[in-house]
Amino acid sequence: MNLIGRFFFILGLTTVLHSFVYGQEFSYSNSPLQFIINDIEKKTNYRFLYREALIADINTSFHTDKEKLLKSFSSAVSPHQLDIKVDEQRHQVLIFKSRLPSLTKTINISGNIVDDETGERLPFATISWYEFGDLKGTTTNTSGSFNLKIPISETAISLKASYIGYNTEYVYFDNQEVKSLEELTIRLTPKPFSGKEIVVQGINFYTPNDTVLHGLMEIGSFSPLGESNAVRSLQLLPAVSINTAINDGINIRGSSSDGLHVLLDGHTVYNQSHLFGLLDAMNSDALKSSGFYYDIIPAQYQAPLGGTLSLITRTGSLNDIKSSTGISNTAIKSTIEGPIIRGKSSWLFSGRMSYLGEVNWFNNAKLIEHGLNVNRRADLTVDPRLETSCEIFFRGFCDDPIILEIIKERLSLTEISILDTDASFYDLHSKLYFETKAGSQIMIGGYFGNDNSTVNYQIDEFENPTENKTLNNWNNTSLNGQLTKYIGNGFTSRSVIGYTNYSSNYFKQDFIFEDINETNSAVNLDSLNINPLNLRNEIIQFDLRQSVSKKLENGFLEIGISYSDFDVRYRELGLVVNSFESRRTSQLLDFFQQLDLETSTQLKISLGTRIHYFSNGRYLRMSPRLKAYYQIDNKRSFSLGFSRNYQFINSLQIYNINSNEFWILSNDEQPPSSVNYFSSGLYYNLSNNLYIQAEGYFKMYQNIRFHELNTDYTSISFQNNKVPWFYQNEGLSRGLEVLMKNRFKFITFTTTYTFSLTKFKNETKSNSDEYLLNNGEYFLADWDRRHQITNVSEIKLAKGFTLLSSWIFGTGIPSRVNKANERFSDARLPNYSRFDLTLNFKKYINKTKLETSFTLYNAFNRSNAWYSQLSQVNVPSYLSNNRKRNLYTHVYDLGIQPSFNIVLSF
């Protein structure tokens, strides 16, 4: 073929191909709009952004070629009050509601951020943009919705939408063409390899730390039982005190553990952990996201004395049936979800059940014993108290530290033989979701949880073995319904109803009641009583909540009312109180308003108020909330805040009883707990890779509850015959918290440091005119850690592999060695140090997603003292004539604990 022939051949071939591509026909006859969109996305490189329910009922017809495709598509949806905006450069098509152009100099944008695969709303997703060169932003609400008013500053606007575990999406549009957008839906595609994380919101505005803290806490990274643990991961924040594997909750900025308010779909979860605090009571596979407030909490939340963790159950896929199944060294679990009416409604069921009592691997049986305080690893303390004991019991052989260590080696704790152990738990999440074309949402959810553990054992007591039993169980049922509706003119209404029934039971046949007495020169350690202890609790709660919110020109307003009806029963049988039983009922009525204003490009203010009326005692209280955020420049910002919070229901924690929570109500004799809370912060975004923040706080507590068994003053508290707890306790807490985060291409480091102090006093006098606690002087809180350091690193290895590590260090908590004695008032347990390691692997096999993790908790097997207590000790005859003595021992946290988790998603 000559040159001219080749030219005409190529020209003809090009013409044929051009005719095939541009002459491609698209023909639809009364076809569902969802089908049309999917077909166009398959045949072209255009991607549509929309909300399923907005197009679910629309059928249309048109016939066109590719060149006129989008124009024909726009004409076909126009009769349904829909419009489109096409970004030719990025091949993006926005579908939104038609609306008359606005005459103002702002662009009104409302919409949602959803999962591209399932259509689920994405709560707490971040959406940001630039105004006059300054970065602005907000987060979606719990329904995944947003409402923006953006001043016209440029010829084009770019919105950036991001969410943990999803690829970032950018939406561009020309503000000369579009003056208002309603029902703009941004669809985010899941990343192939991602994890569930907690969104930390120390303040209520979008700031650099909102995005920096996103990556700090992957849920469950260092769980000792393989299962995900959102509450445990909070300990990596500087505002949260570090804790042991087995615990009865966490402490936020000096508050007792009941100062953490855990919400599931807006309703209180009264026991947030299985198996003595080792793992969450909620299955993370059923949760979409979590929001954590630790600073000045918005008035939409009741706000206890510490912080609020808001967990949200997933709504389920609106498009396809999906499922996942998994196994860890603790439990098996499964989740299944799918549409009821495609694009408009969905269902989800997620269940998890343990097999801890059936398979004894990775020390499962030992974990049960450890959790129930049977054979916990312990040894004699080496501190001034032991030396004093030595002089009393061991004929003065304690002058030399070497002799002291030899004595320790010769002593042994009372022998305990385990007869049998059993432990089981389950949790079940369910949700039904309905969405209308107008955007209204109806959600009906349920949570059912249960935890049971028992140990039977034999104690060798003076060659007369006795059989004993310890059990720990709780049961929780929670039902809720929610209606969210757009009522016009920018107003959104939310109605919520809920019901909770929680019960718990703890019984220990050989509970140790410490009765400590002192003289001027000696300490009597011989007053140790072993008797049964039984604690029972039941809560029935009914909730109603109605709120209305509106996006303002320069802010956001929400007002509402909530009502709660409580029926709380508490029963205690023990040595201190032979028999105590209480039943309290009360109603709590709250009015609240929250106003967030952006008064200038630099200053943002959050103003909230919550007015409480509590019928049991007729308490009328007001909780003001104020947070001001000032942006010094693009890199630096500053914040100040104040709030007064009230807590009308309190939990009674006992230092060696874990998992179960026992709750009591305020009444006319026992006022609600409260805190005056001052905070400030300085935030410095040095670069895209380096961020530093420093925050400080000062808190003043009133009417804090302490159970008698937790105060170390049992001999005095026998005079308190009314109730087995102290409630007239005042306290102070202050702290400085520093966080620094370095991000590189394959590795991220986050380092935190906290200096804090928490102390309490009780100036109440007994019938004998003696102060009930510590002569009316201040004493340190049991959870006080003066210094705390954490370091978390994430290293991306080969494709699909991620290595996570955390190092936690804290000064020891106050020793329970008679804190009333000035000689030992500053005595602390040894420093706490722990290194955890997790290796994650994630891979897609066809359409199946495989996720695996292997964790080493306390990888270096360090012996970390947990608490100190009196224990019975066997003494050799050449050291003492009395073969049984009661001496203080250190009880230790878990040693090295391996775990695994495997999940398949279909």
User: Which is it for strands 106-115 and 180-188: parallel, antiparallel or unpaired?
Assistant: parallel
pLDDT tens-digit series, residues 222-245: 667 777 776 777 777 888 888 888
pLDDT, mean of residues 606-633: 92
Mean pLDDT for all residues in the chain: 79
Per-residue pLDDT for 701 more than 90? yes
Q: What share of the chain in percent tops pLDDT 90? A: 24
**Which among 897, 505, 297, 222 is positioned nearest to 231, based on CA atoms?**
222
3-state secondary structure labels for all residues of 776-834 = HCCEECCCCCCEEEEEEEEEECCCCEEEEEEEEEECCCECCCCCCCHHHCCCECCCEEE
**Distance between CA atoms of 583 and 73, rounded to whole angstroms?**
66
pLDDT score recorded for residue 336: 94
3-state SS, residue 490: coil
pLDDT, mean of residues 415-439: 87
When mean pLDDT is compared across 316-330, 504-518, 610-624, the lowest value belongs to 504-518
pLDDT score recorded for residue 105: 62
Of residues 318 and 518, which shows the higher confidence score?
318
pLDDT bracket for residue 886 (50, 70, 90): low
pLDDT, mean of residues 313-342: 90
The H or E element that residue 409 is part of is helix 401-410
pLDDT score recorded for residue 604: 87
When mean pLDDT is compared across 9-13, 82-86, 267-271, 350-354, the lowest value belongs to 9-13
Per-residue pLDDT for 524 more than 70? no
**Residue where the block lists tokens 């329970």:** 816
| Ramachandran region, residue 615 (left: φ > 0; alpha: ψ -120 to 50; beta: rest) | alpha
pLDDT score recorded for residue 765: 76
pLDDT tens-digit series, residues 721-760: 578 888 889 999 999 999 888 877 778 888 899 999 999 9
The H or E element that residue 184 is part of is strand 180-188
CA distances 373 to 108, 511, 576, 709, 724, Å, are 60, 9, 20, 15, 22
pLDDT score recorded for residue 659: 62
pLDDT, mean of residues 449-467: 80
pLDDT score recorded for residue 569: 94
The H or E element that residue 8 is part of is helix 3-22
pLDDT score recorded for residue 653: 80
Q: How far is CA 147 from the centre of its chain?
A: 26
When mean pLDDT is compared across 3-17, 65-79, 316-330, 503-517, the lowest value belongs to 3-17
pLDDT, mean of residues 710-729: 63
pLDDT bracket for residue 502 (50, 70, 90): very high
Per-residue pLDDT for 879 more than 60? no
pLDDT bracket for residue 346 (50, 70, 90): very high
Highest mean pLDDT among 126-130, 390-394, 679-683 belongs to 679-683
pLDDT, mean of residues 212-228: 57
3-state SS, residue 387: helix
pLDDT score recorded for residue 625: 94
